[in-house]
């Protein structure tokens, strides 16, 4: 389904009325599931949490005023079913525990479009299929809500059987706090492809590997692990904070002449046309389905293994422990 001019929605423009009397089932109680469940509860909505086994939940994560039940029972009870288990688990969970309990005009909600875009599940045609995808992890979604703020959320509509799917998505985004910042309209396809690309090219691929490689080069040339870590790791957050709200023009105007000249010259040397070609290949493999086919048979074959020698890693771990423990304790 297409989007219309990327509209942005804010809290003051959204009513909760369309979901006030709905029975909302949260399927899964992990990172996003718990955060969204607690925020919905605190927004005064009727929720139940569906889990495979109550024993699988850590006792400190259980809430006395939330009902926990089997996935099948919650799916039968709810008319807005939020499927927040892992992408890999969704096909089995949906087909064996949810699909047979769906009724006409029910709503199925996702926080990632992966299984819909790649046709790993097929919802019935007589239900709404929507997405509310917060732009941050579950802990951040919960923490920002408790501060009276919110993590922005992407909204998308795949099926609009009822004619009210967008209003439901908007109201849900308001109830979990996202619209306090903004909720913005996209599509399942756009969310899925850009999310996978952002992870692979930058967030969990390019950036961590780039940081580690720069550390490795300094360490192998004899520099102190502590100094190398401060330069290549600690200062990343400081630079991101400089451009996060005001953009790259502000960044380059706020740093020294040396940093600006050296950064632009070496940046263009490192991130060259070949790098851009590789980025395009990554995106192409996401769009044409090659990545998902590869993932299906190899998901457990890759594990992170640091390229930093163990002695340097130990020194870095110690300074991180001291520094961040000090920050948390305020001394």
Q: Nearest Cα to 182, choosing from 5, 18, 11?
A: 11
Q: Nearest Cα to 159, choosing from 124, 111, 207, 120?
A: 124
Q: In sequence order, what are the residues at sequence separation of 6 or more whose Cβ sits closer than 8 angstroms to the Cβ of residue 17? A: 171
Catalytic positions = 112
Hey, what are 94's tokens?
Answer: 């949906």
CB atoms within 10 A of CB 106: 23
Q: What angle do CA 53, 111, 189 make, to 5 degrees?
A: 135
Secondary structure of residue 107 in the 3-state scheme: strand
Instruction: Give dist(CA 226, CA 1) in Å, integer.
Output: 51
| Structural element, H or E, at residue 185 | strand 183-185
Cα distances from 178 to residues 45, 184, 283, in angstroms, run 16, 10, 28
Tokens 């390019």, residue located: 206
Instruction: Give dist(CA 245, CA 39) in Å, integer.
Output: 26
DSSP secondary structure code for residue 46 in this structure: E
CB atoms within 10 A of CB 98: 25
Instruction: Give dist(CA 56, CA 281) in Å, integer.
Output: 40
């Amino acid at each position: 389904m297409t989007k219309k001019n990327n509209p942005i929605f804010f809290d003051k423009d959204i009513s909760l009325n369309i979901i006030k009397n709905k029975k909302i089932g949260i399927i899964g109680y992990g990172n996003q599931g718990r955060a969204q469940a607690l925020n919905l509860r605190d927004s005064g909505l009727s929720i139940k949490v569906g889990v495979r086994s109550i024993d699988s939940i850590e006792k400190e994560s259980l809430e006395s005023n939330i009902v926990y039940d089997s996935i099948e029972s919650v799916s039968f009870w709810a008319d807005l079913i939020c499927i927040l288990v892992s992408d890999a688990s969704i096909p089995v969970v949906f087909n064996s525990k949810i699909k047979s309990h769906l009724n006409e005009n029910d709503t199925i909600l996702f926080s990632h479009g992966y299984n819909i875009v790649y046709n790993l599940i097929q919802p019935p045609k007589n239900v709404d299929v929507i997405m509310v995808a917060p732009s941050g992890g579950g802990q951040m979604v919960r923490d920002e809500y408790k501060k009276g703020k919110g993590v922005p959320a992407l909204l998308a509509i795949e099926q609009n059987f009822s004619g009210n799917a967008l209003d439901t998505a908007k109201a849900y985004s308001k109830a979990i706090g996202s619209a306090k910042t903004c909720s913005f309209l996209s599509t399942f396809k756009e969310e899925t492809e850009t999310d996978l690309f952002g992870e692979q090219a930058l967030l969990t691929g390019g950036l961590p590997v780039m940081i580690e490689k720069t550390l490795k080069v300094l360490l192998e040339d004899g520099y102190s692990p502590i100094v190398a870590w401060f330069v290549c790791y600690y200062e990343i957050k400081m630079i991101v904070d400089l451009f996060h709200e005001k953009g790259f023009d502000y960044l380059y105007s706020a740093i020294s002449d040396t940093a600006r000249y050296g950064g632009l010259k070496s940046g263009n040397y490192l991130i060259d046309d070949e790098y851009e070609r590789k980025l395009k290949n990554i995106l192409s493999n996401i769009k044409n389905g090659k990545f998902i086919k590869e993932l299906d048979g190899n998901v457990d074959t890759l594990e992170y293994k640091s390229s930093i020698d163990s002695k340097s890693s130990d020194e870095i771990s110690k300074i991180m422990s001291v520094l961040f423990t000090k920050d948390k304790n305020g001394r």
